[in-house]
Amino acid sequence: MTVGVSDRVYETTKLGAVFDVLISHGVAADAILRDVRIPLQDIHSPQARISLTQLITVCQNALRLSTDRNLPYRIGASIHVSTYGMYGYALLCCPDFRKAMEFAMRYHALAAPLATIDFREDKADARWVIEPNLHAMGDSALCRFVTEMQIGIHISLMRDIMGPTFAPSEITLTYPQASDFELPRNHIGCPVRFDQPVNQIVFQSKWLDQLAGLGNKTTYPTIVALCDDLLGDLTLRIGIAGKIRTVLLRDIANPPTFEAIAKLLGVNERSLRRQLRQQGFSFRGLRDELRRQIALKYLRSTSLANEDIALALGFSDAANFRRAFHRWTNKAPSEIRGE
C-alpha cells in the first residue's frame, strides 16, 4: 500500500502529541501550526485526518520553536497505548508479547508512520530497527528528531505493555552525538552509542517470555478484524481511489457517474480506470464498499428503517437495498441489527 505524502489519511495522534508538549512549554498555538493548514479544533478530533506532509511540517516547527534538549523523546514518551484508540487496545489484548511485537509491525501503517520499523529476535536479544522515511532524510536535524521521537514512542508503548520496569539493553544511532537535542539517558535506562550501522532499540529476549497480564485470546481476533477494517479504510483514502471516494461521499444517494468524476478530476476515463486498477479497485467496487460501510453504520448506530437507509444510499426501494446488502456481506440487514 503506497500512501502519498499529501494524502490526508492518518489520525492526528502524533501531531496532537507535538502540539500538546509545545503548548505545555508556553509556545503559541499559531506558531506550532504555521503552514500546517489544520484548524485548531481538529488537533484532537477523532474524525480529522492529516497527511505526512502536515506531520513533518509540525515537527519542523517544533525544531525551530523549542530549546528543550529532550524534546523529540519527550514527545514520543507522551504517547501511550490509550492514545492509539483501537490500535492501542489491540496491543493490550495480544495474548503474549511476541504477538504484540508482530501486531505493531503489521499495523504500523495506522499510526502515521514517519519511519519504517522492523522487529528482529535472536536467542538472547530482540531489537526494533528504526529508519526515518525518505521524506525526512533530506534534513539531518529532522531525521534525528523523527528517530528520537520514535524511540520515545517505542519505549513508552513497551512499558505500557510489559510494565514500567522495562528498559532496553542499549540504543544505537547512525548519527554522531549532537548539541541541539539528545535522548535522556536517566529515563531510557541504558547506554546510547553513536555512529553505528543502524538506529535500534536492543532489549533482552526474556522480556518477551513474560505473560501478557491484559492479554485476551477471545477478544484479540475480534480486535484484529477491526484493525483490518481500519487498514481497508486507509486504503480507500489514498491516491485516486481516495479522490473518487471524497467525491462520492458528497452525495452517496445521487452519486455522479464515472464519466462525470473523470471530468471533475481532470483525467480522461481510460487513465482514471487504469489508475484505479493499479490500486486494486474498480469504480463499482469502490462505490459499493462505501455504501456497505455507511449501511453498517446506519444499522448499528441508528433505528432508521430499511426504507430510509435505502433512500439515503440511492436505492429505489428497500428490497433492492436488502439484495445489495446480502451481496456485500452475506447477511440480511436484520442480522446486523441483532448483533
Residue 6, domain member (yes or no): no
pLDDT of residue 296: 84
Mean pLDDT is lowest, of 42-56, 69-83, 108-122, for 108-122
Q: How many CA atoms lie within 13 A of 247 on its CB side?
A: 18
Note the pLDDT tens digit of each residue in 280-315.
788 988 888 888 888 888 887 788 889 988 888 889
Q: 2 or 48: which carries more pLDDT confidence?
A: 48
Same domain, yes or no, for 162 and 242? no
Same domain, yes or no, for 184 and 327? no
Same domain, yes or no, for 296 and 203? no
H helix or E strand, kind and range, residue 121: strand 115-121
Cα 234 to Cα 106: distance, rounded to the nearest angstrom = 14
pLDDT of residue 112: 59
Same domain, yes or no, for 249 and 205? no
Q: Which of 37-41, 130-134, 140-144, 226-230 has the highest mean pLDDT?
A: 37-41
Tally of CB atoms within 10 A around 311: 16
Tally of CB atoms within 10 A around 58: 25
Task: Using pLDDT thresholds of 50, 70 and 90, give the confidence band for residue 64.
Answer: very high
Average pLDDT (120-145) is: 85
Note the pLDDT tens digit of each residue in 3-54.
567 778 788 989 999 999 999 999 999 999 999 999 999 999 988 888 888 9
Residue 229, domain member (yes or no): no
Number of domains in the chain: 2
With beta carbons less than 8 A apart as the criterion, state whether 294 and 283 touch. no
Task: Give a three-class secondary structure readout of 263-332.
Answer: HHHCCCHHHHHHHHHHCCCCHHHHHHHHHHHHHHHHHHHCCCCHHHHHHHCCCCCHHHHHHHHHHHHCCC
The CATH number covering residue 69 comes to 3.90.1520
Residue 218, domain member (yes or no): no
Domain carrying residue 273: 238-337
Strand 125-132 and strand 170-172: the pairing is unpaired
pLDDT of residue 27: 97
Q: 336 or 109: which carries more pLDDT confidence?
A: 336
Residue 165, domain member (yes or no): yes
With beta carbons less than 8 A apart as the criterion, state whether 265 and 272 touch. yes
Cα 127 to Cα 80: distance, rounded to the nearest angstrom = 20
Same domain, yes or no, for 53 and 126? yes
Residue 71 scores a pLDDT above 70: yes
pLDDT of residue 204: 95
Task: Using pLDDT thresholds of 50, 70 and 90, give the confidence band for residue 1.
Answer: very low
Cα angle at 330 between 327 and 331, to 5 degrees?
Answer: 110
Tally of CB atoms within 10 A around 88: 19
pLDDT of residue 39: 95
Residue 226 scores a pLDDT above 90: no
C-alpha cell of residue 57: 511540517
Same domain, yes or no, for 53 and 132? yes
Same domain, yes or no, for 173 and 281? no
Distance of CA 221 to the CA centre of its chain: 19
Mean pLDDT is lowest, of 40-44, 214-218, 236-240, for 214-218
Residue 107, domain member (yes or no): yes
* Residues facing 119 on adjacent strands: 128
Tally of CB atoms within 10 A around 37: 12
The CATH number covering residue 327 comes to 1.10.10.60
* Strands of the 125-132 sheet, one edge to the other: 115-121, 125-132, 200-204, 170-172, 192-193
Note the pLDDT tens digit of each residue in 174-187.
999 998 999 999 99
With beta carbons less than 8 A apart as the criterion, state whether 124 and 136 touch. no
Same domain, yes or no, for 31 and 78? yes
Same domain, yes or no, for 187 and 257? no
Note the pLDDT tens digit of each residue in 203-213.
999 998 877 76
C-alpha cell of residue 210: 513474560
- Phi/psi at 127 (nearest 5 deg)? -155, 145
Residue 2 scores a pLDDT above 60: no
With beta carbons less than 8 A apart as the criterion, state whether 177 and 199 touch. no
Mean pLDDT is lowest, of 59-63, 65-69, 205-209, 318-322, for 205-209
Residue 294, domain member (yes or no): yes
Task: Quickly list H helices, the chain.
Answer: 13-24, 29-32, 52-65, 71-77, 86-93, 97-106, 134-137, 140-162, 185-188, 219-237, 239-250, 258-265, 269-278, 283-301, 306-312, 318-329, 333-337
Residues 6+ apart with CB under 8 A from 140: 175
Same domain, yes or no, for 19 and 146? yes
Residue 223, domain member (yes or no): no
Same domain, yes or no, for 201 and 281? no
Residue 2, domain member (yes or no): no
Same domain, yes or no, for 73 and 199? yes
